[in-house]
Amino acid sequence: MKKHCVELHQTGQFSQFFLDYIGGKEELTPFYSHAPKLESFKEAIEQKTFSEGNRKVLVEALHSQYANQEVSYAVSSNIDSLASDRTFTVTTGHQLNLFTGPLYFIYKIVSTINLAKKLAETYPKNKFVPVYWMATEDHDFDEINYFKLDGKKYQWNSEQTGAVGDFELDKSFKEFLKTVSFAPEVFQEAYSTSKTLAEAVRKYVDALFGEQGLVIVDGDDENLKREFSEVIISDLFDHTPFVKASQATEELEELGYSSQIFPREVNFFYLEKGLRERIERMESGFGVVNTELRFTDEEMKVLVEKHPERFSPNVVLRPLYQEVILPNLAYLGGPAEVVYWLQLKGVFDHFEVPFPVVLPRNFALLINEKVQRKMKQMNWDVEDLFVDIEHWKKTFVKAEASIDIELAKQKEVISMLFDVKGKEAAHLEKSLENAFEAGKVRSLKIIDQMATKLRKAEERRLHTQIERACCIQELVKPGGSPQERVVNMMQFYLSNPDLISELLDCFDPLDFRMMVLANES
């Protein structure tokens, strides 16, 4: 692939909050521990404390999670290496989207794998394991039950409720699977041989990335949750995470930055098969919303001790949970994810858990030969792919018009005429000046109408170039949203089975620019 890079601020796709963070704006430094750069990892390694006991629990949990599938040597070796105090993880996480969902799911994992490789080269005394955190406990099924390919939406509808990782691949799913018979074998095999959605996602992610040593972690694990019991109790009874996260949120808002997440007094869901609902503090004890479940304070403490797996952290505490159970140095996420971590440093500080290096995943735009051909016809550079199409159209038509379509000179003449004559008429009768002003307004409106007709006529004359530009935009920004947030990987993978290896070759996890990747011609 040919790689061209565009500065992120030129794409118009990123918030100022995110750009200020990766740009190192001084006002944001109190909200993180390490700048997003390679040099930060030396200090992060020195600060990360992870006991032998924690490592043992983690390794045993991972072996148990992988027990029912064949594991590559690269993955098995990485899991075993986590028992060593010289081994650390770098992590990304994502929901269990069908067939990987949007392209950026793949970009997250490729970025994470490449970061582990770069760290291994830079700090050869240590080992670095790339981790994909499966969001099995998420319950927003409507967000993950579809994917888009060639402009068509493929969707699985199910009446199941609760954590999506537990969703059974039942008869309704088997019927859905028949509608995607074109999907590569790696997906067909994973879905057809699995009982649950979590099992299927683990299988296809491992099939795609297992040879790279990617370790898949499911946080929905009793033994791992037990390591988090102290935080669960603190959140339920002291509400400390709420206080710390709210304080940081207010401070960021005072700097002009919008909140990405909203902390609650209790930041846990109650989790059972078919159920994931918020826990709320009540006048007496606790309740689970939308259920009849009620607990006294003492009953809740016993429940945490005996069944920590029933407590599922929300977005405020999931990052902390991850850092408690992993010897983790970095989290890689999308632009919204990256900045919401900045609301959480006070929570980490309170529990004396080192705050990781927070990095953006790589950003990319894949363009095929059709787009390249149209770009050549339009004489477009890669930067032109990110233009606002309506603004471009107005500018283009004005520049290419055969006459002055804005009728600017005519407006000036008419405006001057009414102004001069209005003042002259005012000497005869004061009210005439207002009449001339009203006449000017009506006349300018007529000129504007004529200008619109001229512009539309020019657009018809230039329709070939305009249609070409719109076609490019729809291919790179379908429906007005960035390609990586809409299009499924199969749009490129079906015709190019080497897609992932090519992305691994192109991505640099510490290069914060948009990559435009084009097929070699």
Q: Where are the domains of the chain?
A: 2-229+319-363+500-518, 231-311, 370-481
CA atoms within 13 A on the CB side of 485: 11
Residue 399: what pLDDT? 67
Between CA 448 and CA 451, with CA 449 as vertex, the angle to 5 degrees is 60
**Between the CA atoms of 75, 78, 79 and 82, what dihedral angle is there, to the nearest 10 degrees?**
-170
* 291: DSSP letter: S
**Between the CA atoms of 482, 485, 486 and 487, what dihedral angle is there, to the nearest 10 degrees?**
90
The overall longest dimension of the chain from CA atoms, in Å, is: 99
- Give the DSSP per-residue string, 187-242: HHHHHHT-SBHHHHHHHHHHHHHGGGTPEEEES--HHHHHTTHHHHHHHHHT-HHH
CA atoms within 13 A on the CB side of 392: 17
**How many of the other CB atoms lie within 10 Å of CB of 54?**
17
Report the alpha-carbon distance of residue 299 to residue 305 in Å, rounded: 10
Question: Inter-axis angle of helices 197-209 and 104-122, to 10 degrees?
Answer: 50
Cβ–Cβ < 8 Å for 396, 464: no
What are the two backbone dihedrals, phi and then psi, of residue 166, each rounded to the nearest 5 degrees? -85, -5
Model's pTM, two decimal places? Answer: 0.90
Q: What is the pLDDT along the chain (521 residues), one digit of tens a residue?
A: 899 999 999 999 999 999 999 999 999 999 999 999 999 999 999 999 899 999 999 999 999 999 989 999 999 999 999 999 999 999 999 999 999 999 999 999 999 999 999 999 999 999 999 999 999 999 999 999 999 999 899 999 999 999 999 999 999 999 999 999 999 999 999 999 999 999 999 999 999 999 999 999 999 999 999 999 999 999 999 999 999 999 999 999 999 999 999 999 999 999 999 999 999 999 899 999 999 999 999 999 999 999 999 999 999 999 999 999 999 999 999 999 999 999 999 999 999 999 999 999 999 999 999 899 998 988 899 999 999 888 887 877 676 666 665 667 777 888 888 888 878 888 788 888 888 888 888 887 887 787 777 667 766 776 788 888 888 888 889 988 999 999 999 999 999 999 999 999 999 999 999 999 998 75
CA atoms within 13 A on the CB side of 376: 7
Report the alpha-carbon distance of residue 20 to residue 338 in Å, rounded: 12
SS3 of residue 74 by DSSP: helix
pLDDT, tens only, 100-158: 999 999 999 999 999 999 999 999 999 999 999 999 999 999 999 999 999 899 999 99
How, if at all, do strands 2-7 and 146-149 pair? Answer: unpaired
Question: Inter-axis angle of helices 318-325 and 229-237, to 10 degrees?
Answer: 150
Cβ–Cβ < 8 Å for 263, 96: no
Report the alpha-carbon distance of residue 441 to residue 105 in Å, rounded: 54
SS3 of residue 153 by DSSP: strand
pLDDT, tens only, 388-399: 888 887 877 676
Q: Name which of 261, 260, 267, 263 is nearest 231 in CA terms.
A: 267
Residue 316: what pLDDT? 96
- Look up residue 82 and give its two tokens: 């986590």
Cβ–Cβ < 8 Å for 280, 287: yes
Residue 482: what pLDDT? 95
- Give the DSSP per-residue string, 88-102: EEEEEEE---GGG-B
C-alpha pair distances (Å), 378 with each of 6, 48, 97, 517, 520: 19, 52, 36, 19, 20
Between CA 347 and CA 350, with CA 92 as vertex, the angle to 5 degrees is 10
- CB crowding 227-239: b at 16 or more within 10 Å, else e: bbeebbeebbeeb
Report the alpha-carbon distance of residue 106 to residue 128 in Å, rounded: 20
Residue 424: what pLDDT? 82
